[in-house]
């Protein structure tokens, strides 16, 4: 019972981070109709940006996180403006292939630039933890969970309450009508994709704090993000949190009862199962 | 051309290709083996992706199962190579049948993502199987001499291409094309769409698995990351899309061309070869999304402007 409680706490804390990972993917998928296979690679890049700010400049990872987000926003904006805007109206199949090409490019780039060594962002307080009803709770995981929830709520506010958010939602619903009302898609799409990669950058920074980073983590993280986006649907960021928690808890239970090497079986299995049973998504609507 | 003339031409080309190991240097034969394996994989993808219109991202699962069937049979049970190939092919066909039934009900991006998910599931499962050597993989017995592998790969590529040629002119193939063009209409016309799709998936599986088995025995090593590599699946797609999806010879041209390009890159710019592949994919999708044949035809009409027009079609 004690063990199960500990596992649930771990699962929920991990789930918050997972939700943040999937958030950018769901935003880009829902608005731009781009199924971004490079999403995991963007998370990986964000983790490296945070790592070098931490290891090179000695910045605290939670202070480095906004910087990493800004860097990744700029990068994502340029990728959409320079490349993806050229194919955004092509059949879904083309965007799948081109984002896979970007994924390959980024992975090999990371391997050349950062080497294949595993890196971890471990500030002085990395080992601190506290007790919660008998469960040990690592401080950084709680902080990562808090930041993830904050950013998710921030995105929800941005989409619901700001001009840019309204324009993004309008473009997602009906691009032609949105254009008639003065929405300029080239810039708006780039901003949306930039927001998606900024969220990936934030998720990567937090991932680097609670786990280890290598150039090859991308494809597994893309898979997890897809599973969460399929569970949560694409129309509400708050549902994505639920999707993230579901995956976090399922993975934690799998690690406990079947074995820690089976977590990928669980996450990819959920992805396939949910698609087969309810292709429109479990909670919300998908594209 | 009449059919007998064509048959004679095909026979001459095949005889010339079969004679390659006895006249060409070893490096050409080795390139031939990997190119012929790619031809087989591209043609298998052509059946499900080109003719049926289902953009599978999970064909590398069949390739991996074929390789693992062969490896497990030879290493763990000391069976002959032929038995291993049969086991691998059987595994892939059963997988295509059992998972094809639910997954082929999905359309478009959902089918693509589900098959991509299957690759993840299979990689993770095989990495945990002791009989398959877990994460570290299996080392197969060494067989000297590339000639046997070359002739096997040639025979398989030929068989796959002949099957596609049969599909192109058979009732079954017209059924697949009807599904690609409009699945509801095909259903209304009395085509058993489920049967057609699952059969196409199984055909795709059996050839990919045989290619995987030959490749595993040839390089005498198999591991989960290499066997189920999604990049391989994307290569199949690119080869078919560039050669011409839903044609008999297009995938052959695409596979040989792309194999040659990646071979030249691998020799000249070893550490950047992987990045170049990514770059090729990005540039190709931006400038020639409808393949090489389309560009060649339009290039004759409008010259360099055809690239400009291609970019204009899909941008915002």
pLDDT in tens, B37-68: 999 999 999 999 999 999 999 999 999 999 99
Q: CA-CA distance, B113 to B115, in Å (whole number)? A: 5
Complex confidence, ipTM: 0.87
pLDDT for A282 equals 65
Whether the predicted pLDDT of A286 surpasses 60: no
Residues 10-49 of B with CB under 8 A from A: none
Model confidence at B304, pLDDT cuts 50, 70, 90, reads confident
- Under an 8 A CB cutoff, do A275 and B117 touch? yes
- What pLDDT, on a 0 to 100 scale, did the predictor assign at position B303? 80
CA distance A8 to chain B (A): 23
Could you tell me how many residues make up chain B? 316
- Can you give the pLDDT at residue A285? 60
What is the average pLDDT across B149-154?
96
Q: Which residue from A89, A108, A271 is facing B274, i.e. has the nearest CB? A: A108
pLDDT at B249 exceeding the cut of 80: yes
Residue B279: is it exposed, middle or buried by C-beta count within 10 angstroms (0-12/13-18/19+)? Answer: middle
The whole-number pLDDT of residue B284 equals: 86
- Chain A CB contacts of B124 under 8 Å are 261-262, 264-265, 268
Q: Which helix (H) or strand (E) holds B55?
A: none
- B278 touches A: beta carbon within 8 Å: yes
Token pair for A267 = 């996450």
CA distance B146 to chain A (A): 31
**pLDDT over threshold 70, residue A280:** no
* CATH class for the region spanning A2-277: mainly alpha
Express as a percent the part of chain B with pLDDT over 90: 65
pLDDT higher at B288 or A38: A38
Instruction: Establish if B287 touches chain A: CB-CB under 8 angstroms.
Output: no
Which segment of A159-163, B109-113, B167-171, B303-307 scores lowest on mean pLDDT? B303-307
Residue A276 and residue B123: Cβ atoms within 8 Å? no
Domain ranges of chain A: 2-277
Asked whether the predicted pLDDT for residue B181 surpasses 90, the reply is yes
What integer is the mean pLDDT of B75-95?
A: 96
185-244 of B, contacting A, C-beta below 8 A: 230-231, 234, 237-238, 241
Question: Which pLDDT score is estimated for B1?
Answer: 62
Lowest mean pLDDT segment, chosen from A234-243, A247-256, B190-199, B201-210: A234-243
The average confidence (pLDDT) of chain A is 90
Lowest-confidence region among A5-19, A66-80, B21-35, B300-314: B300-314
Distance CA B226, CA B60 (A): 10
Cα B13 off chain centre by: 22
**Where along chain B do its domains lie?**
27-229
Nearest-by-CA chain A residue for B121: A265
Least confident range from A16-20, B51-55, B89-93, B300-304: namely B300-304
B91 touches chain A (CB under 8 A): no
Residue A10 pLDDT more than 70?
Answer: yes
Query: Which residues are bridge partners to A131 per DSSP?
Result: A136
Percent of chain A with pLDDT over 70: 97
Tell me what the mean pLDDT of segment A168-196 comes to.
90
Contact partners, residue B235, CB within 8 Å, separation at least 6? B38, B41, B258, B277
Please determine, for residue A141, whether its predicted confidence score (pLDDT) is greater than 60: yes
pLDDT bracket for residue A89 (50, 70, 90): confident
Task: Give me the pLDDT at residue B278, please.
Answer: 87
d(CA B266, CA A186): 37
Asked if B114 reaches chain A (Cβ–Cβ under 8 Å), the answer is: yes
Nearest-Cα distance to chain B for A145, in Å, is 26
Q: B61 CB near a chain A CB, below 8 Å?
A: no
Give the pLDDT score at B128: 93
Interface contact B278-A276, CB threshold 8 A: no
- Residues of chain A contacting B118 with CB distance shorter than 8 Å: 268, 272
Averaged pLDDT for residues B114-123: 94
The Cα of A39 is separated from the nearest Cα of chain B by a number of Å equal to 14
> Which one of A92, A108, A171 would you mutate to disrupt binding with B, by most B Cβ within 10 Å of its Cβ?
A108
Q: Give contacts of B109 with chain A, Cβ < 8 Å.
A: 35, 92, 96, 287
Indicate the residue of A85, A102, A268 with minimum beta-carbon distance to B117. A268
* For residues A41-50, average pLDDT: 97
Residue A281 has pLDDT above 70, yes or no: no
Q: Give residue B214's pLDDT.
A: 96
pLDDT score recorded for residue A205:
96
A112 with B231: Cβ contact below 8 A:
no
- The pLDDT of residue B291 is above 90: no
Nearest chain A Cα distance for residue B315, angstroms: 4
Cβ of B124 and A268 within 8 Å?
Answer: yes
β-pairing, B138-139 with A129-132? unpaired
Residues B244/B45, Cβ–Cβ less than 8 Å = no
> Is the per-residue pLDDT at B240 higher than 80?
yes
Confidence (pLDDT) at B258: 87
pLDDT at residue B217 above 90? yes
Chain A residues within 8 A of B311 when measuring between CB atoms = 86
From the list B46, B53, B4, the residue with the least C-alpha distance to B167 is: B46
Average pLDDT estimate for A185-199: 95
pLDDT at residue B141 greater than cutoff 70:
yes
Q: Are the C-beta atoms of residues A32 and A90 closer than 8 Å to each other? A: no
Asked whether residue A138 carries a pLDDT value surpassing 80, the answer given is yes
Please, which pLDDT band fits residue B174 given cuts at 50, 70 and 90? very high
**How far is A117 from chain B, CA to nearest CA, in Å?**
17
Determine the 3-state secondary structure of A138 from DSSP: strand
Average pLDDT, chain B: 91
Would you state the pLDDT for residue A125? 87
- Is B124 in the A-facing interface, judged by CB distances under 8 Å? yes
pLDDT at B184: 94
Least confident of A96-100, A170-174, B126-130: A170-174
Q: B237 to chain A, minimum CA–CA distance in Å? A: 9
CB contact under 8 Å between B316 and A85, yes or no, is yes
CB nearest B285 (choices: A97, A230, A264): A97
Rounded to 5 degrees, φ, ψ at B139 are: -105, 120
Of B118, B237, B286, the CB nearest to A86: B286
Computed on alpha carbons and rounded to an integer, the radius of gyration of chain A in Å comes to 18
Residue-wise burial string across A208-218, b where 16 or more C-beta atoms lie within 10 A, e elsewhere: bbbeebbbbbb
> Which residues contact residue A10 at a Cβ distance below 8 angstroms, ignoring those fewer than 6 apart?
A141, A248, A252
B48 vs A32: CA distance, rounded Å: 27
- Test the B interface: residue of A90, A172, A188, A247 with most B CBs within 10 Å: A90
Q: What is the pLDDT of residue B208?
A: 98
pLDDT of residue A90: 87
């Amino acid at each position: 019972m004690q063990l199960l409680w500990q596992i649930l706490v771990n699962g929920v804390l991990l789930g918050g981070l997972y939700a943040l990972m999937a958030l950018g993917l769901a935003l880009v998928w829902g608005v731009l109709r781009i199924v971004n296979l490079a999403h995991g690679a963007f998370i990986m890049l964000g983790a490296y940006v945070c790592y070098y700010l931490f290891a090179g400049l000695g910045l605290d990872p939670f202070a480095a996180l906004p910087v990493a987000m800004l860097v990744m926003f700029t990068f994502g904006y340029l990728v959409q403006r320079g490349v993806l805007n050229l194919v955004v109206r092509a059949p879904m199949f083309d965007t799948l292939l081109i984002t896979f090409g970007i994924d390959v490019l980024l992975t090999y780039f990371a391997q050349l630039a950062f080497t294949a060594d595993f890196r971890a962002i471990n500030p002085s307080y990395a080992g601190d933890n506290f007790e919660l009803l008998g469960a040990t709770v690592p401080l950084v995981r709680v902080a990562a969970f808090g930041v993830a929830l904050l950013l998710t709520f921030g995105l929800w506010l941005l989409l619901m309450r700001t001009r840019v958010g309204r324009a993004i939602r309008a473009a997602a619903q009906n691009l032609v009508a949105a254009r008639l009302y003065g929405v300029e898609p080239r810039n708006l799409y780039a901003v949306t994709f930039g927001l998606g990669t900024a969220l990936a950058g934030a998720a990567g920074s937090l991932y680097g704090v609670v786990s280890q980073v290598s150039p090859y983590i991308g494809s597994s993280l893309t898979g997890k993000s897809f599973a969460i986006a399929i569970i949560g649907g694409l129309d509400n960021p708050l549902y994505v949190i639920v999707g993230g928690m579901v995956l976090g808890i399922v993975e934690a239970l799998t690690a406990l009862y079947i074995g820690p090497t089976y977590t990928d079986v669980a996450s990819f299995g959920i992805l396939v199962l949910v698609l087969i049973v309810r292709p429109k998504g479990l909670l919300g609507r998908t594209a | 051309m009449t059919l007998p003339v064509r048959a004679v031409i095909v026979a001459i080309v095949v005889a010339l290709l079969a004679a390659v190991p006895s006249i060409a240097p070893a490096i050409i034969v080795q390139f031939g083996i990997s190119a012929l394996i790619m031809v087989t994989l591209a043609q298998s993808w052509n059946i499900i992706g080109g003719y049926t219109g289902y953009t599978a991202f999970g064909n590398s699962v069949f390739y991996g199962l074929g390789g693992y069937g062969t490896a497990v049979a030879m290493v763990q049970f000391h069976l002959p190579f032929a038995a291993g190939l049969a086991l691998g092919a059987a595994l892939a066909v059963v997988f295509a049948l059992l998972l094809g039934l639910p997954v082929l009900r999905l359309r478009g991006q959902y089918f693509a993502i589900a098959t991509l998910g299957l690759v993840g599931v299979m990689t993770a499962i095989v990495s945990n199987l002791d009989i398959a050597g877990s994460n570290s993989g299996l080392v197969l017995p060494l067989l000297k001499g590339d000639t046997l592998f070359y002739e096997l790969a040639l025979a398989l590529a030929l068989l796959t291409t002949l099957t596609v040629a049969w599909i192109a002119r058979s009732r079954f193939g017209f059924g697949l094309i009807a599904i690609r063009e409009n699945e509801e209409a095909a259903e209304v016309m009395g085509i058993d769409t489920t049967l057609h799709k699952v059969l196409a998936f199984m055909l795709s599986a059996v050839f990919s698995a045989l290619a995987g088995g030959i490749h595993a025995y040839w390089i005498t090593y198999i591991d989960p990351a290499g066997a189920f590599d999604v990049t391989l699946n994307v290569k199949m797609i690119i080869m078919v899309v560039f050669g011409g999806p839903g044609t008999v010879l297009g995938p052959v041209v695409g596979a040989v061309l792309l194999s040659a390009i990646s071979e030249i890159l691998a020799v000249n710019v070893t550490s950047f070869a992987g990045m170049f592949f990514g770059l090729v994919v990005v540039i190709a999708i931006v400038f020639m999304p409808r393949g090489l044949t389309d560009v060649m035809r339009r290039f004759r009409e409008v010259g360099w402007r055809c690239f400009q027009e291609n970019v204009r079609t899909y941008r915002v």
